[in-house]
């Protein structure tokens, strides 16, 4: 009764879908490795290229159990398209569907409940310009006020409006969210956001007087951040290294 259903989709889906499944499954495993997961909760979604279909984790599957084949294919409304071996958490897809609906540049949406992002999202001033990591996130940061569990369809419009064209979102009292053209881009943005929040909390806990980065530098960082998170200095270089790490940790994710 505790065993997961087993399926093998490697030769049953398109090459582009399989490659997306590999990237997304690796991302789930890396999130578990870094201690960013939350039991069976929170989600990372990825769009299958050149389709209106999306991949997301099956409800009840821990992040370190996710494989390329047990990811679930759904449409924008959360309807399951690839069998009934698994189900999804409809409430969990509310946030993701809201973003995928309007941000067609978002190949991946990553929403996590890490301690550090929840803590900073719950501070009135939010993320502060205290470290280089915070610069990357603040250059493209939005906030969304807490409205309870994300099950209200009316909240989707406010999510969309608050996010706008940014790639980082702190959900007040809730957690963090990043998006990117690829799984690797979204992952690296979450890495930076989480590190920025961790460092902020450490500095605040020190009790020492803090040095804020000057606003003129913050205003200029967006140009530099756009360079850092694209091309050969962004996900294109870092994500292959993370994929190699995922294979070293447990190649079973690629099943």
Give the model's pLDDT for residue 235: 65
Q: Is the pLDDT of residue 16 over 60?
A: yes
Question: Could you read off the pLDDT of 53-69 as tens digits, one per residue?
Answer: 999 999 999 999 999 99
pTM for the model stands at 0.93
Domain boundaries of the chain, sorted by first residue: 15-247
DSSP element (H, E) containing 43 = strand 43-47
CA distances from 205 to 5, 44, 188, 201, 209 (A): 46, 31, 26, 6, 11
| Topology of the domain covering 15-247 | L-fuculose-1-phosphate Aldolase (3.40.225)
Average pLDDT, integer, range 232-240: 73
Q: Which two tokens stand for residue 225?
A: 């951040």
Q: Is the pLDDT of residue 229 over 70?
A: no
Give the model's pLDDT for residue 243: 97
Which residue, among 182, 234, 191, has the nearest Cα to 35 in the 3D structure?
191
Q: Is the pLDDT of residue 151 over 70?
A: no
Q: Is the pLDDT of residue 121 over 70?
A: yes
Give me the chain's average pLDDT, please. 92
CA distance 51 to 105: 13
Average pLDDT, integer, range 230-251: 83
Are the C-beta atoms of 37 and 110 separated by less than 8 Å?
Answer: no
Are the C-beta atoms of 250 and 167 separated by less than 8 Å?
Answer: no
CA distances from 188 to 48, 140, 156, 235 (A): 20, 14, 25, 7
Average pLDDT, integer, range 110-133: 97
Q: Which two tokens stand for residue 249?
A: 């940790």
Q: Which two tokens stand for residue 168?
A: 């980082």
| Angle between helix 235-249 and helix 183-206 axes, rounded to 10 deg | 90
pLDDT band at 228 (very low <50, low <70, confident <90, very high): low
CA distance 112 to 65: 17
pLDDT band at 215 (very low <50, low <70, confident <90, very high): confident
Question: Could you read off the pLDDT of 90-114 as tens digits, one per residue?
Answer: 878 889 999 999 999 999 999 999 9
Are the C-beta atoms of 99 and 159 separated by less than 8 Å?
Answer: yes
Are the C-beta atoms of 159 and 167 separated by less than 8 Å?
Answer: no
Which residue, among 78, 118, 73, 71, has the nearest Cα to 96 in the 3D structure?
78
DSSP 169-194: EEETTTEEEEEESSHHHHHHHHHHHH
């Amino acid at each position: 009764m505790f065993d997961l259903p087993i399926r093998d989709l490697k030769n049953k889906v398109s090459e582009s879908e399989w490659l997306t499944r590999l990237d997304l499954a690796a991302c789930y495993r890396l999130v578990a490795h870094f201690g960013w997961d939350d039991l069976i909760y929170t989600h990372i979604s990825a769009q299958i290229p050149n389709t209106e279909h999306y991949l997301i984790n099956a409800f009840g599957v821990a992040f370190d159990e996710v494989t390329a084949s047990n990811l679930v294919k759904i449409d924008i409304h959360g309807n399951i398209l690839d069998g009934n071996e698994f189900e999804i958490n409809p409430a969990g897809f509310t946030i993701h569907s809201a973003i995928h609906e309007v941000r067609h540049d978002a190949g991946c949406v990553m929403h996590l409940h890490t301690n550090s992002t929840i803590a900073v999202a719950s501070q009135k001033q939010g993320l502060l310009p205290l470290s280089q990591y915070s610069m990357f996130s603040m250059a493209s940061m939005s906030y969304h006020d807490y409205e309870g569990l994300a099950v209200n369809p009316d909240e989707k419009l406010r999510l969309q409006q608050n996010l706008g064209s940014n790639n980082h979102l702190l959900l007040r009292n809730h957690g963090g969210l990043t998006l990117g053209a690829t799984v690797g881009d979204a992952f690296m943005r979450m890495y930076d956001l989480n590190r920025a929040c961790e460092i902020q909390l450490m500095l605040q806990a020190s009790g020492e007087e803090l040095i804020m980065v000057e606003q003129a530098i913050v205003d200029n960082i967006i140009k530099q951040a756009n360079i850092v998170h694209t091309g050969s200095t962004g996900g294109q270089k870092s994500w292959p290294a993370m994929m190699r790490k995922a294979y070293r940790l447990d190649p079973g994710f690629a099943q």
